[in-house]
Amino acid sequence: MSGSGGGGRQVRAIESIASHLVVLLAVAFALYPVLWVIALAFSGSATPEARVLPIPREPTFDHLWAVISTTREVGDSTQWLFGRQLANSLIVSIATALVGIGIATPTAYALARFNFVGKEGGLRVLLATQMFPAVASAIPLYLLLDFLGLLNSRTGLILCYATTAVPFAIFQLRAAFESIPVDLEEAAMVDGATRFQAFRMVVLPAARPAIAVTALFAFMSAYNEFILAATLLGKEDMFTLPVVLQRFIGEYDAQWEAFAAGALIVSLPVMILFYVLQRHLVAGLTSGGVKG
Amino acid sequence: MIRRRTAARLALAGLALAPLLLGAGEARADEGDEAATIQLWHAYRGAEEEALQAILEAHRAAGGPPVETLAIPYDAFGSKLGAAIPLGEGPDLYIDSHERLGDYRVRGIVAPVGDAFEGEAAFRSNAVQAVTLDDAIWGLPLSQKCVALYVNQGLLKEVPATLEGFAGLRDTLPEGVFPLAYEAQGAYVHSALLGAFGGSLLGPDDSFGFVGDPAVRSLNLARALIDGGVVPSDADGALVTNLFRGGKAATAISGPWLAADLEGSGIDYRVELLPKVEAADGAPMRPLLTVEAVMLSPEGAKRADVRALARRIAGPEAAALRQERARTLTARADVPLPPGDKLLAAFAAQAEVATPMPSAPAMRATWEPANRAIKAFLRGELDAEAATEGARKRFDDVRRPLPPPASPTPLLIVVGLLLLYGAFSLVRQVRSGELVPALRRSIPAYRYVAHAVITVGLLVILPLVVGAATSLWAGRPETGHYVGLANFVDILTARGGPLLATGSFYVVLLVTLLWTLANVFFHLAIGVSLGLVLSRPTMKLRGLYRVLLIIPWAVPNYVTALAWKGMFHRQFGAVTGLINALNQTFGLSIEPIAWFSHFSTAFTANLATNVWLGFPFMMVVTLGALTSVPGDVLEAAEVDGATRWQRMWQVTLPIIRPTLLPAVTLGAIWTFNMFNVVFLVSGGEPDGTTDILVSEAYRWAFTREAQYGYAAAYAVLIFLMLASVTRLGEWKAGRRAAREAAAARAAQAVEGGGH
């Protein structure tokens, strides 16, 4: 061991450089397509050309401005259409996260703490819902929402998104609750708290990171979805942003710059959320891990 | 105490229900004014949309009822109408292409226009012909659209008289400028060439028409044009626009939509008749003519105010306004072309030489096989006869007669037996006296899960069960019937064809398995490696790296899928740019790769996209799992002389494995059903070989004659496979857990004995 000090430092330096190289390569891989989208969004020239570096040609804010300032005439007044659609997206996604978490949290707690008839079967059904492709259930869902009078409404969309997000949320939260020591609740209950109070005052705060991350996933699933939204929504001022984006790309006149500009705006809120929650992201997934 | 508990629970429920209540109010508000307003759907954009709005304003000013319009992407139009109109949610009238009329009529979502039609004399004769089915008029013609030849006058003065003559332009044009750009790989423009040879996509009696001598000769001519460098090989519609707009093509075959895109480009152009074809004895190219028409939904056709609005939209003032503002060629005979408008005059002349697109429902089924045949031939995989014959088989396969109706008795017997068994075991459990106390003990738990059971049961599981049940039916929703397991038999026997042919269930399954394994492998390899590197305490900038590496996860996946598709473009993609840069720097001569022409490269493109999307998740899970690796274990291993490599494989990885395993299972399931990437990046190219089971099911449901039952059967098979594999995994994990528990007990016993 003696005398290896200098050699060890050298080895460590090489290792450090190597790890930085590996990570930088991965970062380049991760950012390259995103940079292309950004470059396209600010490009003034539409002439196609094979290039390596994602640098905007004839930089301009026109596309971004054109997408943001979309309006429409309703009767005599002008409506800021893009603003409404952005609001739709945010309302639907936030409500999805709230409703989804609201439904999943108590259920996940029961699955983590109680034994009851139908528990195993229920878990199996939850996993099964993840395996069945949506292709076959889209039409029945449409008919069902019509029956409930929820077509063409944000409520219908929120309900669909929230319930679709619930199974994964339950898996996540159940694992998180399981990793919280039972002693904490038992101590609270010895002190006179009811089970529900123990759940609310002790377990929920302890599981906050996991809940935040699960909410983020539910938010994202709603914020990025467009197939269901395009089918269910029939009015322009009800559209969510992914539906709007999809319409920039027709077969013959794909407005790629507008699409890229829109994509940039659409991605921004999720990016910010990810940035804010990224510490929790690791912690949230750590708590026992995602359990299937 | 109880009261507080209830209050808390109510608050939670209120939180969950608030958006519902808000939304319900909004839905009611919407319904109030629905009776008076007229709903109009269209697929217009830009100038055409503005012209339509101006026409509607004029109608409103003349005292008409308010009209609410909705623009829907052309591709989604049919499916959306078909879903909405039968439920009374659809428009009263809509503007669509005439060739969909036959299909709409079968589905009962269009009605004859009745007194809205002014008479045949008012419209051009082939426009009237296009909207006539069985002697009734089903739509009011608005405009006619077909492709013609755009000529860049800055690059070209004299246009060759024949298509073959374009080859001579190569030497006179600047380097890198194509003599002619058109969507060579698409059946829509190719049919103009086919028409010159006297062929058509749809033959007599709804048979497949893209076969025989005209098909072979038109294909050979297209190949000659590409091989001679006259026409770019893999141009899609958007690229043709870009090439012509950028001055990289001297001429282009395109429709009126190109003119709108050329505004402000500074290109000096004119429009001419498509050239004649020497190989077809000088016959002219005959493009397909599409007539845009106002159509009425069955409900809308009953309303006099709706018919009046339709009549106005198709009337002479509106036609003149559209010609002037949006420069669309009117379908009316009594509205003159704007004087001096050469563009419209040229399209009017071309429309005379065009063939109205057949409106029979069978026409829709010709596109996919014809497109694939053209692509397979131009790639050089098949000769023209084999390609077109293969296309005919595919057409016949999609149009095959439905399986005969089956007796529902076996199903009823099975369901009956299952119910009987369920009831029997229930009774037995109640009798045994265990169930009731167990249920009573479960009641507190049920209070926590009831709302999830209700909502998930209603909105997730019920549609799934109904969807699964659809797999026992065949045909369109309106005309289908119960066929028992016939759909499954059809799928599992590859519809009577060879079991290992392209597109058969087994081949697609193999591709899907390869896809899933490759993705999971790369997700794990990249994710775990990065996780390990980033978790090193000595690593600088860890936080920054982590944020940057999570970005692919945060961007909506349809955005990145389309960005990657663009990067893999053969001529203008960034990957080609990289290859060019490599060639220049190192003096290499790597050819740009046509990524979507071969299975291996197209699959790689899909894989690269999905690996990019998925590795951050694995990285984060790994980072999380690594925090649970106790430092002293690693130190102990180091003291014992284990190398870094040994420590990783023999200590770290076994410890994080249990945490990774569930994430891998779920990731594998998601990848198995990853529709977005496959559909948006390769779209199944080439020839449907990169399709996975889910995208294949999607095609049967939405692009091949709405065979929902058949698609549902695919979905059920996917589900059964995933469920059985997962069960197998659970069973094995259960056995391993039992073994480990036994080993632990044994170890404990030994330890106990030692003390």
**Cβ distance of B245 and A47 shorter than 8 Å:** yes
Q: Nearest C-alpha of chain B: how many angstroms from A19?
A: 6
Position B33 confidence tier, pLDDT thresholds 50, 70, 90: very low
For range B124-152, the mean pLDDT: 91
**Cβ distance of A267 and B556 shorter than 8 Å:** yes
> In DSSP terms, which residues pair with B753 in a beta bridge?
none
Average pLDDT of every residue of chain B: 85
3-state secondary structure of B97: strand
> Residue B523 in contact with residue B617, Cβ under 8 Å?
yes
pLDDT for residue A91 = 94
Binding-face residues of B in 653-672 toward A, CB within 8 A: 658-663, 665-666, 669-670
CATH C-level class of B34-142+291-337: alpha beta
Which one of B555, B664, B718 makes the best mutation probe of the A interface by having the most chain A beta carbons within 10 Å? B555
**Cβ distance of B697 and A250 shorter than 8 Å:** no
- Name which of B549, B624, B675 is nearest A289 (Cβ-Cβ): B624
The residue assigned the tokens 């790309």 is: A249
Q: Of B479, B361, B357, give the one whose Cα is nearest residue B103.
A: B361
CATH C-level class of B148-286+360-398: alpha beta
pLDDT above 50: residue B34: no
Distance CA A265, CA A271 (A): 10
Q: What's the pLDDT tens digit per position in A17-34?
A: 888 898 999 999 999 989
Task: Please work out, in degrees rounded to the nearest 5, the angle formed at the alpha carbon of residue A275 by the alpha carbons of A271 and A281.
Answer: 110
Q: Nearest C-alpha of chain B: how many angstroms from A262?
A: 10
**Cβ distance of B5 and A234 shorter than 8 Å:** no
* Inter-axis angle of helices B435-456 and A154-178, nearest 10: 140
**Cβ distance of B558 and A33 shorter than 8 Å:** no
Chain Cα centroid distance, residue B277: 35
Residues of A in contact with B623 (CB under 8 A): 282
On whether any CB of chain A is under 8 Å from the CB of B5, the answer is: yes
**Cβ distance of B554 and A245 shorter than 8 Å:** no
Distance CA B98, CA B77 (A): 13
Lowest mean pLDDT among A261-275, B7-21, B87-101, B569-583: B7-21
The structure tokens listed for A247 are: 């319409």
pLDDT for residue B444 = 85
The domains of chain B are located at 34-142+291-337, 148-286+360-398, 409-491, 505-706
* Residues in CB range of B522: below 8 A, 6 or more apart: B607, B611, B615
Distance CA B158, CA B179 (A): 12
Position A152 confidence tier, pLDDT thresholds 50, 70, 90: confident
> Residue B682 in contact with residue B596, Cβ under 8 Å?
yes
Q: What's the pLDDT tens digit per position in B476-508?
A: 766 778 888 888 998 898 877 777 777 789 999
> Residue B297 in contact with residue B84, Cβ under 8 Å?
no
pLDDT above 70: residue A285: no
pLDDT for residue A275 = 85
Distance CA B207, CA B209 (A): 6
- Return the percentage of chain B with pLDDT > 70, whole number: 94
pLDDT for residue B271 = 93
Average pLDDT of every residue of chain A: 83
pLDDT above 60: residue B25: no
Lowest mean pLDDT among A2-6, A28-32, B394-398, B578-582: A2-6
**Cβ distance of A37 and B563 shorter than 8 Å:** yes
Position A70 confidence tier, pLDDT thresholds 50, 70, 90: confident
- For domain B505-706, the CATH superfamily is MetI-like (1.10.3720.10)
B67 phi and psi angles, rounded to 5 deg: -120, 130
Lowest mean pLDDT among A14-18, B374-378, B521-525, B548-552: A14-18
For range A199-206, the mean pLDDT: 88
Binding-face residues of B in 264-303 toward A, CB within 8 A: none
Q: What's the pLDDT tens digit per position in B201-237?
A: 998 888 999 999 999 999 999 999 999 989 988 777 7
pLDDT for residue B591 = 77
> In DSSP terms, which residues pair with A77 in a beta bridge?
A74
> Residue A281 in contact with residue B622, Cβ under 8 Å?
no
> Residue B600 in contact with residue B607, Cβ under 8 Å?
no
Q: Which residue of A has its CA nearest to B60?
A: A75
On whether any CB of chain B is under 8 Å from the CB of A121, the answer is: no
pLDDT for residue B276 = 94
Q: Nearest C-alpha of chain A: how many angstroms from B573?
A: 5
- Sketch out chain A's domains with CATH numbers: 5-60 (no CATH), 66-286 (1.10.3720.10)
Which one of B241, B451, B558, B565 makes the best mutation probe of the A interface by having the most chain A beta carbons within 10 Å? B558
For range B121-130, the mean pLDDT: 88
User: Count of CB contacts below 8 A, A vs B?
Assistant: 390
DSSP classification of residue B591:
P
pLDDT for residue B604 = 94
3-state secondary structure of A77: strand
Q: Which residue of B has its CA nearest to A44?
A: B265
Q: Nearest C-alpha of chain B: how many angstroms from A258?
A: 12
Q: Nearest C-alpha of chain A: how many angstroms from B616?
A: 9
On whether any CB of chain B is under 8 Å from the CB of A164, the answer is: yes
pLDDT for residue A290 = 43
**Cβ distance of B577 and A52 shorter than 8 Å:** yes
On whether any CB of chain A is under 8 Å from the CB of B623, the answer is: yes
Distance CA B384, CA B281 (A): 21
Same fold, B34-142+291-337 and B148-286+360-398: yes
Residues of B in contact with A163 (CB under 8 A): 455-456, 458-460
- Name which of B53, B459, B620 is nearest A281 (Cβ-Cβ): B620
Q: What's the pLDDT tens digit per position in B597-622?
A: 888 999 999 999 999 999 998 998 88
Distance CA B286, CA A185 (A): 79
Position B577 confidence tier, pLDDT thresholds 50, 70, 90: confident
pLDDT for residue B9 = 43
Q: What's the pLDDT tens digit per position in B425-440?
A: 989 888 888 888 888 8
pLDDT for residue B8 = 42
Lowest mean pLDDT among A213-222, B63-72, B459-468, B524-533: B63-72
pLDDT for residue B405 = 86
- Name which of A50, A135, A163 is nearest B580 (Cβ-Cβ): A50
Q: What's the pLDDT tens digit per position in B255-298?
A: 888 887 788 788 899 999 999 999 999 999 999 999 999 999 99
Position B30 confidence tier, pLDDT thresholds 50, 70, 90: very low
pLDDT for residue B28 = 38
On whether any CB of chain A is under 8 Å from the CB of B30, the answer is: yes
